[in-house]
Amino acid sequence: MARAIDGPATTRFAPVEIRGNASWTALAKTGISSAMADAAEHAPRGQCVCVGLPFRVGRPVVLHDKGVTLTLDSIKAPWLVFMHTSDIRPVDTNRDGLISPMRGKGRLAEHAADYVIVYADGSEVRLPIRRFHQLGTFTRRWGENCFESILHQKMRSCRAHHEQPCDSWGFSQTRTGDNDGSPWANWLWAWANPNPRKEIVAVRFEPVSGVIMLSGISAGRGASLPLRWRRRRKALLTLPRGQTFDPTLDVEGRLEQIQLDMGQVISAQLQSQYPNDAWTKSYNNQLPAVSDRHVLVEYTSHEDAAFHVSGGKTIPVARLEERGKSGSLKVVEPATQRVDLIVSEKGTKKPVTVKLHVHGQAGEYLAPLDRHRIPNPAWFEDYAPDYLHRATHYCTYIPGETVIDLPVGSVYIEVSCGFEMKPVRKVVRIGKATRQVRLEIEKVLPWRDKGWVSADTHVHFLSPTTAQMEGAGEGVNVVNLLASQWGELMTNVGDFDGRSTHGTIDTGGDGEHLVRVGTENRQFVLGHISLLGYEGRPIVPMTTGGPGESALGDAVDVLLTEWARQCKAQGGLVVLPHFPNPRAENAAAIVHGDIDAIEMTSWDDLYGGIDPYSLSDWYRYLNCGYMLPAVGGTDKMS
């Protein structure tokens, strides 16, 4: 027997006892289709909680060719919520084999039935039930939804695959689940009773077209439509001392330590604690402290919803939002003020591409509308234009202007653009009339004006356009985006054409920020080699010798020196990346004169400087007369 419990039940509604005209074991004899009969084993039964509302599903009502009257215990309620569904309605074709008019598999707006509410005084209210409005089908085509009813399973959150493994890596990146893949769909329709003080004693169901099945009714009170949730809000949860936050979600997308009945927790993360009081005096990219017992909770809910927290306690959302604090929860000002944020170079009005960080008073990250609100630091799980310093300080790159939702009150902004521009950390006060925020960033080092060109010799995974924007936001004039192979995974190979330099004036750019796609060719013992700017066909194989660089079973059929010489033959430059490791054939390639430069990389610490181990190894070659220049490469992989 299937059950549906998608979270705690609200106390504002109660299930209505119904005694239908059918049994689950004999549904096939009621005139329903064989498809519906086969799927019925997945239909919810027994005590159910659907979208936070309680239902008791016993004998269902099957409405086919005869009316059915349900006698109810006396009910007084402002709202009735019907849990029902419809059988499929085959569509007819004309003599040409076409369907006209095409109203969808569920027959849009077709009058399916009338539900007649009978009051104790003998008066009645007739409710027309139309398909795709108050009622949907038990199975449906993608894209066929209802206007006035919702699926019986609550929308839920999910975590990215690297945080909590799941079956679908790709869909986990959306961090949402709509629960519409079940073989059986009931639809919830809420009816506002125009006579809430009258006793309802019966409901008469009158068929008009097709077959309808009613599983349950829930009756209760609410300030507004009980199935409609509001836009997202935030709260800060303080855990009991000694309790550790558990971010694990169950199969219904629920946390153990905090849930909602008429709503859903969107995300819950340990709070980032920034030095807000000294924000303008703190330094660029400074990491926040991360609390061990304060959890930033984002949620969407009905105004009558309640939080259910550890220890069985409930906290009404309305009370929390009215008082600002209730129990273990504290309100975080919602980000509802939509503004244009523009960054320009001081002395001009021209927008300048920058790296941007914004957070609110509770440390909550505030992303532009077209950026991730929860950036993903995992390897090859995301290549959006975001930057995460040590996976705790969230930033994104913008082309000088963006649209962002901000909370009323103080917001804390960080803007940077490489080494020539002075980073800005500023506190901006947002009011209800704020529509635009303008910031200026000042050039303090005229390196580019004097002819210097900055470059990154080593970037992976980004699209060329994204790499160009990120390069501009970091003051990097030339980005070398490297295609490569990782086992059976090939990355950026479709971006390599052996001729294009993205961002040139000829291609519509300004000629200041360029991207060229090359390759990083690798063997896990002999070494890695970056082949930059060469023309013609890609130099393959890109990796050899099996894991951990190449595919299992790949032979060592090319050496670093051969890759280097082929690159030079095709007009390219050769760099030894993240020098000196892996350290084997690189020595021979240097001695033979096949290497143009060695690369310094600082993977772990933005402020750690050049690794002295790399530096000392470079000097070994310099002292032996091999005057190789050093270049900088980030080996960026996200």
Same-domain status, 323 and 341: no
pLDDT of 1 higher than 80:
no
Q: Among the three residues 383, 413, 443, which one is the final residue of a domain in this structure?
A: 443
- Mean pLDDT, rounded, of the chain: 95
Out of 302, 332, 362, pick the residue that ends a domain.
332
Q: What is the CA radius of gyration of the chain?
A: 31
Let me know if 507 is exposed, middle or buried by CB neighbors in 10 A (0-12, 13-18, 19+): exposed
Sorted by sequence, the CB contacts under 8 Å of residue 597 that are 6+ apart come out as 457, 573, 574, 575, 576, 628, 629, 630, 631
Say what the pLDDT of residue 616 is. Answer: 93
Q: How far apart are CA 157 and CA 267, in angstroms?
A: 7
Q: Looking at the structure, do residues 265 and 361 belong to the same domain, yes or no? A: no
Average pLDDT over residues 90-94: 81
Q: How many CA atoms lie within 13 A of 236 on its CB side?
A: 19
Which of 332, 362, 377 is the last residue in one of the domains? 332
Confirm whether 4 is domain-assigned: no
* Model pLDDT, residue 175: 86
Q: At residue 542, does pLDDT exceed 90? A: yes
Cβ count near 448 (within 10 Å):
15
Looking at the structure, tell me whether residues 208 and 241 fall in a common domain.
Answer: no
Whether residues 393 and 533 fall in one domain: no
SS3 of residue 577 by DSSP: coil
| 196 and 241 both lie in a single domain | no
CA 515 to chain centre: 28
Q: Are residues 44 and 147 in the same domain?
A: yes
The count of other CB atoms within 10 Å of the CB of residue 381 is: 17
The distance of Cα 196 from the centroid of its chain, to the nearest Å, equals: 41
Phi, then psi, of 355 in degrees rounded to 5: -95, 130
| Average pLDDT, integer, range 168-191 | 87
Does residue 165 lie within any of the structural domains?
no
Mean pLDDT over 437-442 rounds to 97
Based on the fold, state whether residues 60 and 192 are members of the same structural domain: yes
Give the pLDDT confidence of 295-307 residue by residue, as tens digits.
Answer: 999 999 999 999 9
Asked if the model's pLDDT at residue 105 lies above 90, the reply is: no
Quick one: 130 and 192 in the same domain? yes
Q: Is 464 helix (H, G, I), strand (E, B) or coil?
A: helix
Same domain, 536 and 596: yes
Quick: pLDDT tens for 238-265. Answer: 999 999 999 999 988 999 999 999 999 9
DSSP 399: S
Nearest to 288 by CA among 306, 266, 273, 303: 273
Of 11-15, 44-48, 101-105, 503-507, the range with the lowest mean pLDDT is 101-105
Give me the domain span that covers residue 396: 336-443
196 and 251 belong to one structural domain: no
User: pLDDT confidence of 213, banded at 50, 70, 90?
Assistant: very high
Regarding whether 99 and 63 lie in a shared domain, the answer is yes
Is residue 166 in a domain? no
Average pLDDT over residues 356-374: 98
- Residue 181: which pLDDT band, with cuts at 50, 70 and 90? confident
- Domain membership flag for residue 285: yes
Residues 188 and 315 in one domain: no
The residue behind tokens 């004006």 is 449
Q: What is the pLDDT of residue 412?
A: 99
Secondary structure (H, E, C), 265-296:
EEEEEEEEECCHHHHHHCCCCCCCEEEEEEEE
Judge whether 3 lies within some domain.
no
Give the number of other Cβ atoms within 10 Å of residue 593's Cβ. Answer: 10
Residue 2 belongs to some domain of the structure: no
User: CATH code at 76?
Assistant: 2.60.120
Does a cis peptide bond (omega within 30 degrees of 0) precede residue 58? Answer: no
Spatial separation of the C-alpha atoms in residues 539 and 530, rounded to whole Å:
11
Can you give the pTM of this predicted structure? Answer: 0.93
- Give the HSE-up count for residue 483: Cα atoms under 13 Å, Cβ half-sphere: 20
pLDDT above 90: residue 99: no
Q: Report the pLDDT value the prediction gives residue 607, as an integer from 0 to 100.
A: 73
CATH number at residue 390: 2.60.40.10
Nearest-angstrom CA–CA distance, 89 and 91: 6
CA distance 277 to 165: 39
Per-residue confidence at 179, pLDDT binned at 50, 70, 90?
Answer: confident
Q: Is residue 8 part of a domain?
A: no
Asked whether residue 511 is assigned to any structural domain, the reply reads yes
Q: Are 309 and 237 in contact (CB under 8 A)?
A: yes
Asked if 344 and 353 count as a contact pair (C-beta separation under 8 A), the reply is no
Number of domains in the chain: 4
For tokens 């709070």, name the residue: 271
Residues 332/362, Cβ–Cβ less than 8 Å:
yes
Q: CA dihedral in degrees (39, 45, 51, 53; nearest 10)?
A: 150
